[in-house]
A and B are shown apart, each in its own frame.
Chain A
């Protein structure tokens, strides 16, 4: 069979790629969502502490003797202590003028009541989170707006975020690996019925064209049912061609036999020597035609049967002796003796009709190419494997062509004038191959052709 199946990707790969890239994207999205969420929570945490610190400072603002006093508690800054010792900045403004604390921190701009804002700024070379709020004090000399900014660097926050990011990344990667493993599993279970189907088709003998009856997933029903239909049709057409061969054999051989018997009868009656000569040529032609026809049909039959071996146990010696007996009339015409040599019984497992056919063709050849009064030696043995050897005393195979003689319709140079179609050795070789055996042809050292059929 030629391998012209055109491949476009693989179902398994496609499925895997889709699932795995999907899970990778999901993992990445998950990472960003969780990290974003964690960032927000961490930032909220810092903002809350800043807010508390801010409130405690603002609450401490009072007016004493007309002067603003902000006696804020120790805890105001103490609560801003972090593991990584973040830097802390603050500023207290009175009506927008720095009262005490650090210069350059953003002051709340609005004068509209009490507001609170958070922002991240760059201050003294690092990033800091600033909280602002203000408060109105009412003194004897009118309203005073006190505003306070508290800022904290984000070392601790970024460390927290980094460790969260790391954990989330590990989590995301774990998720990805898990999903990838699951997709591999899922792909395998999905693909498996298909593989099983393919394997069971491969495992089937060439003769087995029965429909598949194992349970299959519903998606595969169209495929398997059309496969079953196809095999049904194939089975039918094979049966038809088998019938056709039998039919053809019958139809060709019978009329040829009839024609020949007429020709024979006519030969008896005709006395004119040139007419007799013509008739003899006719009989020869008919013989040749019928032999070619029967060998063609044999070959066709063998080609068909090699796919449908009907094996049984065969006694090789019996088979050979039977054949020798049947061919003895032809042998006697040439005064050729067929000697069958054997020691122990040899039994093989094979298709009787095919093996008989092959051996008959080989003995036939030996008879055809032997001179008169020759001896054909056939030996049957079982060492190392069952074999059959035919050795004649003819001219031997033409050495130049010996490799090609087993090809279809190939005849040697020595075949001139000898009836034949070039199929005999082909049949013998095909049969040997169908039984995992070999056909060897060579010329014997002491002359004569040698053919060994081994199983």
Chain B
């Protein structure tokens, strides 16, 4: 009997705390009366400087920063939009669909470039290309591939070496991975050839960029495809084991986006935070202080466009078809 009660208690506490956060941190500067809840897919370390700089100007605010994967973030927010003030995610398609479905409020801002916002509700604040990241030692004395074709050639020529030493996103689990994959596939057939080659060699599937980079540094894998260059860049500062390659044929470039929930408990505060975030990212006062890449387009650089078409691959049928094809290629 006692045993059952304990079991029930465990179950209750588990379901009360149903969301399993990758990270959950509270930032505050002492006396506080308002808690801003930010639901984010971005690692806390990247966001910390901005959160802290906001608290300097708004000492009465406490920020609860909750990190989870893009796909689960979407699910959590759709279920309880009234619990969160801001939603920040790298999965542009999921974010755009949230706005299209009416989850966000409009924010008047005059400065933000029109290509970096949608319906005055969804605001992009970084520019981050997807990269091929390699372990340097694996390519010692080898030509370093500069494009997807190069990579395919390199993999084919040393197929023994790369066997089971490749990694990419599991697009079934990661929203960002799915976005990168679908945009790649939309742009070029090369994507499918690469996936087939990678599938043939046995590829590890990851939920997140961080894990992939960990395995790259440890040498468990030699090549990771479609890793967030910003994360890799941050790690490169610490470890010199890896090399980041932006594919020369076409770099798929993502923008991290933020929106304020229509049911946000602290709308005004959330709006303020949004404006602070956009201002900081548009004109970073001191680049070294901020770990997030700024919203600056290099000449000729193109990003995934914020448009309703982003919802195309979120369509149930399209997703089924795409996943089926992807599985056929990568899991052989």
Mark A residues whose CB is within 8 Å of B. 68-78, 80-81, 84-89, 92, 99-101, 124-125
Type the 1/0 row for B289-332, where 1 means its CB is closer than 8 Å to any CB of A. 00000000000000001011101100111100100000000000
* A158 smallest CB distance to B (angstroms): 14
User: B-side binding surface: helix, strand, loop or mixed?
Assistant: helix
B102 an interface residue at 8 Å Cβ cutoff?
yes
Docked Cα-Cα span, A88 to B309, in Å, equals: 9
Docked Cα-Cα span, A100 to B16, in Å, equals: 32
Mark B residues whose CB is within 8 Å of A. 100-102, 118-120, 186, 305, 307-309, 311-312, 315-318, 321
Asked whether, in the complex, the Cβ of B308 is within 8 Å of the Cβ of A99, the reply is: no
Q: Which of B119, B307, B315 contacts A78, CB < 8 Å?
A: B307
28 CB contacts below 8 A, A to B, read: A69-B321, A70-B315, A70-B318, A71-B317, A71-B318, A72-B312, A72-B318, A73-B312, A74-B309, A74-B312, A77-B307, A77-B308, A77-B311, A80-B308, A81-B305, A81-B307, A81-B308, A85-B118, A87-B100, A87-B102, A87-B119, A88-B100, A88-B311, A99-B317, A100-B318, A101-B316, A124-B101, A125-B102
Asked whether, in the complex, the Cβ of B317 is within 8 Å of the Cβ of A78, the reply is: no
Which chain B residues lie closer than 8 Å to A73 at the CB level? 312
Of all chain B residues, the one with the shortest Cβ separation from A77 is: B309
Query: A69-B321, A74-B186, A77-B308 are known contacts; what are 11 more A-B pairs with Cβ within 8 Å?
Result: A68-B317, A69-B317, A73-B312, A74-B312, A77-B309, A85-B119, A87-B308, A88-B308, A88-B311, A99-B316, A124-B102
A87-B119, A125-B102 known; A100+B316 contact, CB < 8 A: yes
Of all chain B residues, the one with the shortest Cβ separation from A87 is: B100
Which chain B residues lie closer than 8 Å to A81 at the CB level? 305, 307-309
A81-B307, A124-B102 known; A71+B321 contact, CB < 8 A: yes
Asked whether, in the complex, the Cβ of A100 is within 8 Å of the Cβ of B309, the reply is: no
* B278 smallest CB distance to A (angstroms): 17
Which chain A residues lie closer than 8 Å to B305 at the CB level? 81
* A220 smallest CB distance to B (angstroms): 66
Which of B101, B308, B321 is the most central at the interface, judged by chain A CB atoms within 10 Å of its CB? B308
Docked Cα-Cα span, A71 to B321, in Å, equals: 8
Asked whether, in the complex, the Cβ of A78 is within 8 Å of the Cβ of B316, the reply is: no
* B261 smallest CB distance to A (angstroms): 16
* A97 smallest CB distance to B (angstroms): 13
A100-B315, A100-B317, A124-B102 known; A78+B308 contact, CB < 8 A: yes
Which chain B residues lie closer than 8 Å to A76 at the CB level? 309, 312
* B247 smallest CB distance to A (angstroms): 20
Which chain A residues lie closer than 8 Å to B186 at the CB level? 74
Of all chain A residues, the one with the shortest Cβ separation from B311 is: A77
Docked Cα-Cα span, A76 to B317, in Å, equals: 15
Which of B311, B317, B318 is the most central at the interface, judged by chain A CB atoms within 10 Å of its CB? B317
Which chain A residues lie closer than 8 Å to B100 at the CB level? 87-89
Docked Cα-Cα span, A75 to B305, in Å, equals: 12
Asked whether, in the complex, the Cβ of B308 is within 8 Å of the Cβ of A70, the reply is: no
Which chain A residues lie closer than 8 Å to B316 at the CB level? 99-101
Docked Cα-Cα span, A375 to B119, in Å, equals: 115
Q: Which of B101, B308, B315 contacts A72, CB < 8 Å?
A: B315
Which chain A residues lie closer than 8 Å to B315 at the CB level? 70, 72, 92, 100-101
Which chain B residues lie closer than 8 Å to A71 at the CB level? 317-318, 321
* A54 smallest CB distance to B (angstroms): 14
* A291 smallest CB distance to B (angstroms): 104
Docked Cα-Cα span, A85 to B118, in Å, equals: 6
Which chain A residues lie closer than 8 Å to B119 at the CB level? 84-85, 87
* A368 smallest CB distance to B (angstroms): 103
Which chain B residues lie closer than 8 Å to A92 at the CB level? 315, 317
* B65 smallest CB distance to A (angstroms): 28
Which chain B residues lie closer than 8 Å to A72 at the CB level? 312, 315, 318
Ordered nearest first, which 8 A-B pairs have the shortest CB separation?
A78-B309, A100-B316, A88-B308, A77-B309, A81-B307, A85-B119, A77-B308, A100-B317
* A98 smallest CB distance to B (angstroms): 10
Which of A71, A92, A101 is the most central at the interface, judged by chain B CB atoms within 10 Å of its CB? A71
Which chain A residues lie closer than 8 Å to B309 at the CB level? 74-78, 80-81
* B258 smallest CB distance to A (angstroms): 16
* B117 smallest CB distance to A (angstroms): 8
* B107 smallest CB distance to A (angstroms): 13
Which chain A residues lie closer than 8 Å to B101 at the CB level? 124
* B101 smallest CB distance to A (angstroms): 7
Which chain A residues lie closer than 8 Å to B118 at the CB level? 85
Q: Which of B120, B312, B317, B321 contacts A77, CB < 8 Å?
A: B312
Docked Cα-Cα span, A74 to B186, in Å, equals: 8
* B121 smallest CB distance to A (angstroms): 8
* B105 smallest CB distance to A (angstroms): 13
Docked Cα-Cα span, A125 to B102, in Å, equals: 9
Docked Cα-Cα span, A69 to B324, in Å, equals: 12
Which chain B residues lie closer than 8 Å to A89 at the CB level? 100
Which chain A residues lie closer than 8 Å to B307 at the CB level? 77-78, 81
Docked Cα-Cα span, A92 to B318, in Å, equals: 12
* B60 smallest CB distance to A (angstroms): 33
Docked Cα-Cα span, A85 to B305, in Å, equals: 12
Docked Cα-Cα span, A131 to B120, in Å, equals: 26
* B306 smallest CB distance to A (angstroms): 8
Which chain B residues lie closer than 8 Å to A78 at the CB level? 307-309, 312
Which chain B residues lie closer than 8 Å to A124 at the CB level? 101-102
* A91 smallest CB distance to B (angstroms): 10
Of all chain A residues, the one with the shortest Cβ separation from B309 is: A78
* B92 smallest CB distance to A (angstroms): 14
